Homo-oligomer: A and B are copies of this chain.
Amino acid sequence: MDIELRSGCPINLTMEVMGDRWSLIIIRDIMFGNRRHFRELLTHSEEGIASNILAARLKRLLSLGFISKRDDPSHSQKAIYSLTEPAIQLVPVFAMIGAWGRRHLPVSEELSIRAELLEEGGPPLWDEFMEDLRQIHIVDPIGGANGTCTSAVLAKLTAAFLEVRARSSSQVS
């Protein structure tokens, strides 16, 4: 599973690796949604990825070294997918992409609150989040997957998301 190497330009290479419809979305869901199993990524996906595509992308990301996979001790058939350091370092990229999308595309308030907080927090928050992610995905991937090991930043982002969702659904009714 090699990348194509059309040119050694950093932007081109990043697009060769992440420039498809799903790879970055999958990493986003692992990172911000803490979805660590195939089934979670498949069924809790906002965008509705197909299972064959998910399997293919996980395999590709694995072989490129952006995620890792290990057995879940609680179920011999379950696999836990974790982010590797290169994927964790995508946090500032996500922050910038989120900030740009929020300004120039028809985002929903509910789904853009996390991008807003990430933008407001700036590099100090990104660093704190990346440190949390290292704990959850590299130091203690199993505890991270089952919720024993958690992140203050992730909790904050998720709480804000749920609050906006509650607010907007009460407006509807």
Q: Hey, which bits of chain A sit against chain B, CB under 8 A? A: 3, 5-17, 19-21, 24-25, 28, 46-48, 86, 89-90, 92-108, 110-112, 115
Contact = CB atoms under 8 A, between A and B. Distances in A.
B86 A10 contact: no
A46 B13 contact: no
B25 A98 contact: no
A25 B46 contact: no
B9 A112 contact: yes
Given A15-B24, A89-B103, A6 B111 contact: no
Contact of A10 (B3, B14, B15, B97): B97
Query: Which 10 pairs show the lowest CB-CB distances between chains A and B?
Result: A8-B108, A10-B101, A7-B46, A14-B101, A13-B105, A6-B47, A9-B111, A86-B104, A10-B98, A10-B115
Contacts of A25: 11-12, 15
Contact of A7 (B96, B99, B104, B111): B111
A19 B19 contact: yes
Contact of A14 (B89, B97, B110): B97
A7 B94 contact: no
